[in-house]
């Protein structure tokens, strides 16, 4: 395949950054999007140029490291798929492809396509945990959980913390990520002791980090590679109202 890439290049956090065009030829339609970038980088290195920096780790859709806004859509055109699992056969021969980093004040660019997502870590530190001593894996039937709750909690726990929801949101809000954590832990018996503190302090950390406010546009759930549903935001709002207006938070 022949491709024209327009990639965001930025030397460091202070650099202004710009889109730079690259022509690529002979790309296999079976290559993944990241393998295609590997091919470009090998060429840049042999030509003595700085390779394009981008995040990746597992390359199997489970770690949440890969990012990239491809043609205006986080993780590219294929639904429920991370960038690392996206293949070039989803593009047309001769296509012009725009590649940009996640854009959010809370995700500052480190270099090229790499952004700093530690604001997500700070949100987790402020409440995305349980305090019960876990020890080794317990006998599965010792703490009964209703099947429906277990299923919903598992669905929410599929969030890999990639940040595509923020990248897609016109408000730059991380409500889907936050909702996934609050739903996941809030549905389990082990998550109950911290439930009302969790939602309030995680939301405070969210706002302090500079994420925007949710207006229910629904862009996040469509961009999410794990298909985390909008229901988690309804749960987040419900728990927040119960904790504050309902006086559940001590």
Partner 1 sequence: MAVTGAILVGFLIAHMIGNLKIFLGASDFDHYAEWLRTMGEPAVPRRTVLTILEIVLGVSVLLHMWSAISLARRARAARPVKYQGKKKSNAQGYATHTMRYGGVVILLFVIWHLLDLTFYAVNPKGSDATPYDRVVADFDASRWYITVWYVLAVLLVGLHLRHGIWSAFQTLGLRSPRNNNALRGLAGGLAAVVTIGFIAVPISVTFGWVS
Q: Which residues bind ligand HEM (CB under 6 A)?
A: 215-217
In whole angstroms, the minimum distance from the beta carbon of 248 to partner 1 comes to 13
Question: Rounded distance, CA 153 to CA 180, Å?
Answer: 9
In whole angstroms, the minimum distance from the beta carbon of 154 to partner 1 comes to 15
Instruction: Using DSSP bridges, classify how beta strands 3-9 and 96-100 pair: parallel, antiparallel or unpaired.
Output: parallel
Contact between 211 and partner 1 (CB under 8 A)?
Answer: yes
In whole angstroms, the minimum distance from the beta carbon of 162 to ligand SF4 comes to 4
Closest CB to ligand SF4 among residues 88, 165: 165
Which residue from 66, 99, 159, 209 is in contact with ligand FES, where contact means CB under 6 A? Answer: 66
Contact between 80 and partner 1 (CB under 8 A)?
Answer: no
Which residue from 10, 32, 73, 82 is in contact with ligand FES, where contact means CB under 6 A? Answer: 82
Contact 99, 20 (CB under 8 A): no
Contact between 228 and ligand SF4 (CB under 6 A)?
Answer: yes
Q: Which of residues 219-248 bind partner 1 (CB under 8 A)?
A: 219, 221-223, 229-231, 233-241
By CB under 6 A, name the binding residues for ligand FES: 56-59, 61-66, 82, 84
Binding site for partner 1 (CB under 8 A): 6, 8, 17, 19, 69, 71-73, 98, 100, 103-106, 109, 168, 170-173, 210-213, 215-219, 221-223, 229-231, 233-241
């Amino acid at each position: 395949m022949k491709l024209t890439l327009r990639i965001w290049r930025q030397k460091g956090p202070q650099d202004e950054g710009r889109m730079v065009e690259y022509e690529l030829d002979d790309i296999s339609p079976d290559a993944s999007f990241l393998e295609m970038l590997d091919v470009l980088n090998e060429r840049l290195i042999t030509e003595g140029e700085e390779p394009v920096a981008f995040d990746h780790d597992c390359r199997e859709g489970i770690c949440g490291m890969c990012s990239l806004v491809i043609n205006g859509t986080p993780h590219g055109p294929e639904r429920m798929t991370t960038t690392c699992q996206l293949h070039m056969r989803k593009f047309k021969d001769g296509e012009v492809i725009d590649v940009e980093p996640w854009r959010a004040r809370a995700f500052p660019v480190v270099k090229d396509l790499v952004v700093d997502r530690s604001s997500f870590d700070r949100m987790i530190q402020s409440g995305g945990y349980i305090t019960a001593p876990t020890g080794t894996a317990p006998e599965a039937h010792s703490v009964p959980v209703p099947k429906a709750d277990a299923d919903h909690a598992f669905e929410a726990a599929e969030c890999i913390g990639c940040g595509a929801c923020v990248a897609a949101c016109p408000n730059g809000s991380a409500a889907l990520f936050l909702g996934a954590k609050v739903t996941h832990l809030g549905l389990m018996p082990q998550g109950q002791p911290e439930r009302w503190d969790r939602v309030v302090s995680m939301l405070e950390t969210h706002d302090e980090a500079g994420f925007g406010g949710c207006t229910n546009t629904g862009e996040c759930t469509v961009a999410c590679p794990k298909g985390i549903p909008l229901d988690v935001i309804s749960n987040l709002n419900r728990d927040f109202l119960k904790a504050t207006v309902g006086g559940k938070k001590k």
